[in-house]
Structure 1
Amino acid sequence: MRVHCTAEDLLRVTVADRPAPLVELGLAFEMLQRRDAHPVFGPWRQRTTRTLPRLARPLLQMVSPLGAGPLFLDPPSRDLEEGMDQILSTPRARARAELRRMCAIDRPLTPWVRDLADRDRDAWQILQQAVHTAHASVIAEAWPRIQAGFHAETAWRSRILAQQGLRAALTSLAPSIRWSGLTLEAAFPRDLELTLNGHGIILQPSLFWADHVLAAPHADGRLLLIYPAVTPLPLRDTTTSGDPLSALVGSTRAHALRLLVEERTTGDLARELAVSLAAASMQAKTLREAGLIVSQRDGKAVWHWCTPLGLDLLVHGSP
């Protein structure tokens, strides 16, 4: 993916001020259909698939595991009802174009999807019921944890933007991001070229997404850059005991980061955290991809230690 920015766009980079329930719902359904053995979302996927109500399952016909869905299906609305109004008011031409685009990627052209494209009233009532049921099943109960994780993430991202600048704030969204002049380049499953026109960029973390950065147009003309939060929802603690660092990265990673003010191997981390080598390696990988630690192999051992960003987070994230 290549996003061609103007200087005006870069002067108008902001961080989202609230999570968007339908954006999170769409991303949850994308993660739900992945077949990779993700150490965090794998167990969540199994639990959610078992309990997903039948009335919510039509959404699986519309949402791709590649991180793409019809743009009218997940508006960045304040709440479910506002978003539902936006979905139901989608013009026929736009709905048809978006559904055609999704079917060209990897979605089947089922009779129901064809009826949606034709603006059949019964088909859209099924869609409305599916969104409401899916939200109640996947999002509603977890909403307090989603909000807590979102605000911890955006507070940290805003701090990076204020103290280290735009380059650090954007390149730390995902390991693959890099700059080429005024063009932001990032790994993406297909070729995508976007040209911005000076309206700006909104950084929107998601607690349900754990892959490449996603891009979508906002209603006001800005570009929505959706990126995975440092700590996804399945790892969110129900309580953080007043510890801001645990609120951002989770209690286990907070402990790991505090340990890594001194160099330690993966084996050291596993012993200190009382977890398996694989689990310690996963925690180190996430901290490394967030720019909080660096790792270096020495023979069979891998050593880890804090970056300046990680140390800064430790200092300002202490309870």
Structure 2
Amino acid sequence: MAEPFRPPPPGRKEPGKSGGAVLRVHFTTEDLLRVRIAERPEPLLEMVLALEMLGRADIPPALAGWQRRLRRTLPPAARPLFQLVSPTGAGPQFLDPPAPGLAAGLDTILATPRAYVRHELRRVCGVDRPVTAWTRDLAELERDAWQVLARSVRAAYGAVIDTSWHTVRAGFHAETTWRSHQLAQHGLLPTLTGLAPGITWRGMTLEAASDRELGVRLAGRGLVLRPSFFWAGPPLFTDRPGEPVTLIYPAPTPLPLLEPQGPDPLTPLLGRTRADVLRRLVRRHSTTTLADGLGISVASASMHAKALREAGLVVTRREGKTAWHQCSGLGLDLLGDRPATV
């Protein structure tokens, strides 16, 4: 007979009150050579982080209106997830696997091995989540409990991700392109310490204020830097079996500020099409893909890219017969917080 699910007693604390708690990420020399920036946003992770933000009392003013709206409009079917997700960011890691969308993500969630489910539920119940009949049934892989979980994930995904994913994706590519530029121009130390206020280096350890004591030894696995457009708390990390360790940091421009705010200042400066070209080039494009994405001719795309290049806003590199275009540092500075068109 299997051992019954007995999580440890929770250590409850008010979210946002760190009380001196610290996140520590221990590097080796090899890890420093393996720091990279995430290539694409993860919708299930953003969904979970959004739900976790709903319980925080230290919400930034830019997110306060969004928090009130989502609390009011979140479907009842999504609410069982609050038994799992914590405002400290301690939700179970089987709930937000890397996946391009809902269908693939749900398949991965529902295939989680029982041992990992129990491990993660013990962990989150040891932080501040309640032990309920439903969480016990999840730990035992009871079919009905997992059907409730699947319905809850679908409902939350529809309310959080389906309504904002285009904006999140555009903001993600603009932020990671800028962060890559910073890494290339200024190096690793200012890039890492600039991810969030109060991040410091102590020896070979990155330290940041946290809601709870957290620590991970990279041991040669390297680190992936991933911005979140919903999470505005202290930095978090994910450490899943068989995957790189990921450091999650709050994007400097959260979701509500990614929405266009008034008239676009680039259009009168550059013209509508040329402004659209510059936004699209926060990601590398060939002349052909640039033209296809904007619905213009290849000759026109080439002409606009040349004009932006001559102004120092775009750089172009040739690989064989293909010309690849991307924003320069000056181009990124001109774009500022405006979302990219992807």
- Shorter-chain TM-score category? 0.7 to 0.9
**Separation in structure 1 between the aligned mates of residue 89 and residue 104 of structure 2, nearest angstrom:** 23
State the match for 2:81 in structure 1. Answer: 59
1:102 to 120, 124, 143: 124
1:36 aligns to 2:52 (yes or no): no
| Aligned 1:125-164 pairs, distance under 5 A | 125-164=147-186
Higher-Rg structure is 2
State the match for 2:258 in structure 1. Answer: 236
2:144 to 114, 122, 135: 122
Deviation of the 1:192 alpha carbon: 1.9
Paired letter, 2:56: R
**Separation in structure 2 between the aligned mates of residue 139 and residue 190 of structure 1, nearest angstrom:** 28
Deviation of the 1:15 alpha carbon: 0.6
Q: CA RMSD in A?
A: 2.0
State the match for 2:230 in structure 1. Answer: 208
State the match for 1:20 in structure 2. Answer: 42
**Separation in structure 2 between the aligned mates of residue 238 and residue 58 of structure 1, nearest angstrom:** 33
8 Å CA contact 2:196–2:235 kept in 1: the answer is yes
Q: SS at the partner of 2:161?
A: helix
Structure 1: give runs of 5+ residues left out of the alignment.
Answer: 245-311
8 Å CA contact 1:88–1:124 kept in 2: the answer is yes
1:50 to 72, 79, 89: 72
8 Å CA contact 1:36–1:42 kept in 2: the answer is no
More helix, by proportion: 1
State the match for 1:224 in structure 2. Answer: 246
> Against the structure 1 CA distance between its residues 119 and 7, is the aligned structure 2 distance closer, same or farther, given a 3 Å change threshold?
same
Deviation of the 1:36 alpha carbon: 3.1
- Superposed CA deviations along residues 41-60 of structure 1, whole A, max 9, x for unmatched, are 22111111111111111111
- Superposed CA deviations along residues 282-310 of structure 1, whole A, max 9, x for unmatched, are xxxxxxxxxxxxxxxxxxxxxxxxxxxxx
**Separation in structure 2 between the aligned mates of residue 243 and residue 229 of structure 1, nearest angstrom:** 23
8 Å CA contact 1:31–1:41 kept in 2: the answer is no
> Against the structure 1 CA distance between its residues 87 and 243, is the aligned structure 2 distance closer, same or farther, given a 3 Å change threshold?
farther
**Separation in structure 2 between the aligned mates of residue 133 and residue 187 of structure 1, nearest angstrom:** 33
> Against the structure 1 CA distance between its residues 46 and 182, is the aligned structure 2 distance closer, same or farther, given a 3 Å change threshold?
same
| Relative contact order, higher structure (CA 8 A, sep 6+) | 2
8 Å CA contact 1:15–1:204 kept in 2: the answer is yes
Deviation of the 1:219 alpha carbon: 5.2
The share of aligned pairs that are identical, in percent, is 53
**Separation in structure 1 between the aligned mates of residue 169 and residue 146 of structure 2, nearest angstrom:** 29
| Aligned 1:158-173 pairs, distance under 5 A | 158-173=180-195
Q: SS at the partner of 1:145?
A: helix
Deviation of the 1:10 alpha carbon: 0.9
> Against the structure 1 CA distance between its residues 130 and 178, is the aligned structure 2 distance closer, same or farther, given a 3 Å change threshold?
same
> Against the structure 1 CA distance between its residues 232 and 135, is the aligned structure 2 distance closer, same or farther, given a 3 Å change threshold?
same
Q: SS at the partner of 1:109?
A: coil
Deviation of the 1:80 alpha carbon: 1.8
* Count of paired positions: 252
- Structure 1, 31-40 or 54-63: larger mean CA deviation: 31-40
Deviation of the 1:193 alpha carbon: 2.2
**Separation in structure 2 between the aligned mates of residue 200 and residue 123 of structure 1, nearest angstrom:** 36
8 Å CA contact 2:223–2:246 kept in 1: the answer is yes
State the match for 1:112 in structure 2. Answer: 134
State the match for 2:3 in structure 1. Answer: none
**Separation in structure 2 between the aligned mates of residue 214 and residue 167 of structure 1, nearest angstrom:** 18
Q: What TM-score does the superposition give when structure 1 sets the normalisation length?
A: 0.75
**Separation in structure 2 between the aligned mates of residue 66 and residue 165 of structure 1, nearest angstrom:** 30
Deviation of the 1:226 alpha carbon: 0.4
1:90 to 108, 112, 120: 112
Q: SS at the partner of 2:126?
A: helix
Paired letter, 1:171: T
**Separation in structure 2 between the aligned mates of residue 243 and residue 169 of structure 1, nearest angstrom:** 28
Deviation of the 1:40 alpha carbon: 1.9
- Superposed CA deviations along residues 143-195 of structure 1, whole A, max 9, x for unmatched, are 01000111111011001111100001100001111111211111112222211
**Separation in structure 2 between the aligned mates of residue 4 and residue 100 of structure 1, nearest angstrom:** 24
Structure 2: give runs of 5+ residues left out of the alignment.
Answer: 1-22, 268-327, 336-342
Paired letter, 2:34: R
> Against the structure 1 CA distance between its residues 116 and 243, is the aligned structure 2 distance closer, same or farther, given a 3 Å change threshold?
farther
State the match for 1:303 in structure 2. Answer: none
State the match for 1:317 in structure 2. Answer: 333
**Separation in structure 1 between the aligned mates of residue 33 and residue 179 of structure 2, nearest angstrom:** 16
**Separation in structure 1 between the aligned mates of residue 177 and residue 185 of structure 2, nearest angstrom:** 12
State the match for 2:282 in structure 1. Answer: none
**Separation in structure 2 between the aligned mates of residue 149 and residue 243 of structure 1, nearest angstrom:** 17
**Separation in structure 2 between the aligned mates of residue 167 and residue 318 of structure 1, nearest angstrom:** 25
